[in-house]
């Protein structure tokens, strides 16, 4: 699995800690981590939580990432931004039980973490336990076990609802403010990571046009 990490400006200083913790948990499981920044509070390219959502949607819809780990001060804004887009099902995760139940019941492809609220002693331990519950076993298996069938059915229904209630990603990118999108895609390693992993030619072409425009 290709896991993308995205941090917005207010919590950029924690990127190194989050990335190191994520890698320690998921790389032994065979997953790859792609750190899209922000890498520090001094980065030239500044991401807002709204741009986190744009970047997450581009990566997931293009197949350049299979999962996105993001967040903001409370995690709420990043979650709302991510869920504004097609092909993104983002949960607000505070603790390991949230992570486990989101993975097993909702089987999403993104999480938004609170990187300021409640982020004190043991924060790195909480992150590690969250990542273990998310990525150490197959998602969508249901919890509790007597709810497996209706939960899996509802997840499929939600996926179909999102297909109808959202436009395709290329149309969205072309209609959004061009500078807002360019800012979301202007990270130091975006082009290196994205174009090497993108599996959707239409989105790749649209992204190239935006970056070159």
Does the predicted model carry a pTM greater than 0.85?
yes
Q: Which residues pair with 5 in a beta bridge?
A: 35, 69
Of all residues in the chain, what percent carry a pLDDT higher than 90? 99
Q: Are 74 and 116 in contact (CB under 8 A)?
A: yes
Instruction: Output the CA–CA distances (angstroms, integers) from residue 175 to 51, 179, 210, in the order listed.
Output: 15, 11, 11
* Residue range 2-212, CATH number: 3.40.1400.10
Res 213: pLDDT: 84
Of all residues in the chain, what percent carry a pLDDT higher than 70? 100
Instruction: Write down the residue that tokens 């190194």 correspond to.
Output: 16
Res 171: pLDDT: 96
Instruction: Write down the residue that tokens 């174009």 correspond to.
Output: 195
57-77 residue pLDDT tens? 999 999 999 999 999 999 999
Based on the number of CB atoms within 10 Å of its own CB, is 46 exposed (0-12), middle (13-18) or buried (19 or more)? Answer: middle
Q: Which of 141, 7, 130 is nearest to 70 (CA)?
A: 7
Res 147: pLDDT: 93
Res 134: pLDDT: 97
Rounded Cα gap, residues 143 and 146, in angstroms = 7
How far separated are the first and last CA of the chain, in Å rounded?
32
Q: How far is CA 59 from the centre of its chain?
A: 8
Q: How far is CA 45 from the centre of its chain?
A: 18
3-class SS at 70?
Answer: strand
3-class SS at 56?
Answer: helix
Q: Using pLDDT thresholds of 50, 70 and 90, give the confidence band for residue 53.
A: very high
Q: Output the average pLDDT for the chain.
A: 96
Task: Kindly state the average pLDDT of the residues 152-167.
Answer: 93
Least confidently predicted of 8-17, 87-96, 110-119, 137-146? 137-146
């Amino acid at each position: 699995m290709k896991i993308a990490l995205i941090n917005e400006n207010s919590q950029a200083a924690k990127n190194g800690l989050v990335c190191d913790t994520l890698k320690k948990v998921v790389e032994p499981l065979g997953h790859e981590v792609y750190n899209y920044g922000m890498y520090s509070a001094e980065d030239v390219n500044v991401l807002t939580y709204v741009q986190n959502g744009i970047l997450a949607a581009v990566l997931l819809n293009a197949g350049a990432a299979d999962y996105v780990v993001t967040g903001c001060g409370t995690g709420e804004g990043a979650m709302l931004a991510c869920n504004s887009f097609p092909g993104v099902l983002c949960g607000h995760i505070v603790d390991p039980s949230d992570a486990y139940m989101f993975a097993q019941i909702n089987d999403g492809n993104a999480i938004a973490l609170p990187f300021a609220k409640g982020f004190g002693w043991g924060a790195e331990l909480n992150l590690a336990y969250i990542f273990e519950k998310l990525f150490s076993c197959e998602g969508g298996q249901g919890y509790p076990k007597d709810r497996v069938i209706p939960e899996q059915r509802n997840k499929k229904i939600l996926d179909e609802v999102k297909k109808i209630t959202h436009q395709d990603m290329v149309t969205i990118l072309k209609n959004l403010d061009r500078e807002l999108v360019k800012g979301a895609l202007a990270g130091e390693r975006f082009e290196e990571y994205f174009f090497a992993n993108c599996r959707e030619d239409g989105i790749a072409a649209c992204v190239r046009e935006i970056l070159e425009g």
